[in-house]
Structure 1
Amino acid sequence: MHSNGPAPAPRLFTPWHLGPLELPNRIVIAPMCQYSAQDGSATDWHDVHLGHLALSGAGLLILEATAVSARGRISPTDLGLYSDDNEAALQRVIGTIRKHSPIALAIQISHAGRKGSSEAPWDGGAQIKPDEPRGWKTEAPSAVPHAQGEDPPEALDRAGMERIKADFVQATKRAARLGFDGLEVHGAHGYLLHQFLSPIANKRTDDYGGTLENRMRFPLEVFDAVRAAFPAGKPVWMRISATDWVPGGWDIEGTVAMAKVLKGKGCAAIHVTTGGVSPQQAIKLGPGYQVPYAQRVKSEAQVPTIAVGLITEPEQAEAIIANEEADAVSLARAMLYDPRWPWHAAAKLGAKVFAPKQYWRCQPREYKDLFDGMRFGQR
């Protein structure tokens, strides 16, 4: 006999537990820098930008890389969480989102290291020298500049490292007060924690350089401090670049080893990306080009993974989850291009998705039960 029951839900739209946090689906909005803050504080742009992404139907929205100190910003217009003003500005934005969307909210906290003091991408992205207006002296594991001709960073001593660790803890405590549902530690894209991991940026000869164990030491210390400072019932995870795409750089073997240690420290997932530490990187672009790295981390470290990188089509995202290549997919540019991507994916795959009641009348006639408003307010 053939069953006449309903077809199983697409795997992309099945619930997922990110640690203790239950999400209605496996679509994550990746952190995307907006270079639109004022002295680290969110502006009206963040109300508009985050507000409409919060109505997308995705399961989780991760706020952009948020600096733990003014010196840790990528650019003078980076978002920060190092002052009372920063915290108050984000409280306003988050309060508005909570009134109108059930989406889970997380924040990515970061320190740019030697990639700081830079112009916004649309202004060329070049380093702003320390003696120029709006510029500052960057800091890093070693006094090695990111690119030839740039002002070299100040090599961190132990006191500087303790200061940065304390900055991560303070930002974490602010994030906890703001009521974020989860927190991501940025250990990727060539920023400070990635700089410690990569032999390209880390030339230290003390306990924080040289061997894999030593290069992992400071990022792991930061993770421990952050995990301890965030509520125990909420998840903390890490974003890691799985490869530098440069011979002799950080690689997938190191990433798997790091993920195994992080799992034992209570890390809820690994958000697997690549690159960022060197202009010499030779990235082999293609649809889902980073997914195999997420799959290796998932299978070899036995830790949940979030895959990212040229994931643009609903069927592609569904296959990644169905084939157990990753536990969730995160979209960045694809979500900017189509902020209702989860709606369209649900329509194409035959699933339901959250939409605010003010928008229900836009449901296409051929989709009788596309929009699901029942979950609103029941998180």
Structure 2
Amino acid sequence: MVAPGTRWRTATGLLWAVLLGACGGASGPLAPAPPEGEAWPRALPVGFDSIPALQDNPLTDEGVSLGRWLFYSPALSSNGQVSCATCHPPSRAFADDAPLTLRGVSGKPLARHTPALINLAWMESLFWDGGLKNLESLSLSPLTHPDEMGQADLGALMARLAANPEAVQRFEEAFGPGGLTLGHLLQALAQFQRTLVSADSPYDRWRRGEPGGELSPLAQEGFALVQRHCTPCHGSELFTDNAFHNNGLDARFGTGEDVTRGRGRITLRDEDAGLYKTPTLRNVALTAPYMHDGRFATLDAVLEHYRHGMVPSATLDAAFQRGGAPPGLGLEEGEKAALLAFLEALTDTSFLTHPALGPPEPR
């Protein structure tokens, strides 16, 4: 997904407020934790006791099921051939293997690399530049973007769904009679995407002291290196700080709303130029290529960048500045193998194959 422009974001916020109206909007108090037994992964990162959801959009079996059906439905696109899963397949941890995907309805490359959809329930902002704040409004961007799903007329989309008996049934199961609305479509997609929880890797089982959670000595050495070098950006069990950093990719940045301006495109502050949201390290071995533009094809290339490939600039993060020495993390060549071993231990194979996260069975 590519973040929309400032004017588009303003329109999106207004549209979302109208869609939910009396329901209370897209922000507000959290819903109580859902009961046990619902059909989505139950493992959570260490220290987390429930999947957060908004009080006016709590997780329900029916809502999640509808969102899953919509996520895999190409009927949401203007040509009937592109679904959310086209660019976010579960086999790649809901990421895309192209630097700038060409899989949208126009066949044109997107401006940014498609991000992985992992543990979104705990993300404080969305898109590489943090242009959106909640999952309820997230899906409007790919739905309406001309190069993604290309829906220029959302009313026509809803009319087509209303002519589909299965769609009507699923919406009414989730939201009651008359439940087939655009607002409910967005809520259902948000519910499903909140259940995309990855927390059952060898690392997680090791942290919980469970069988199958043994980390090799090399991976444990890599974990120690992550704690030493990477926690400013990848701390916590989410392996992201939910913040924005300039990690030395470029010396110059665009102006105004240019996507190469990074976070500065949203805040319009010079000090935010070139800053991008920290991606999670979870399942990182599966989500190549890397960075906001997919410039690095391998994790080895990423580590080489942090060793001696960083570019100085006015907004380079302080974590990478080393006085008069070239910027970087000071990693030794011999430490790369340990880091790679630990990053591999963050692969959650159950996340790729969980029956509640893949394409639904046809009715």
Measured against the shorter chain, the TM-score band is under 0.3
Q: What is the TM-score of this pair, normalised by structure 2? A: 0.26
Q: What is the TM-score of this pair, normalised by structure 1? A: 0.25
Considering fraction of residues, name the structure with more strand.
Answer: 1
Considering fraction of residues, name the structure with more helix.
Answer: 2
Higher relative contact order (CA 8 A, sep 6+): 2
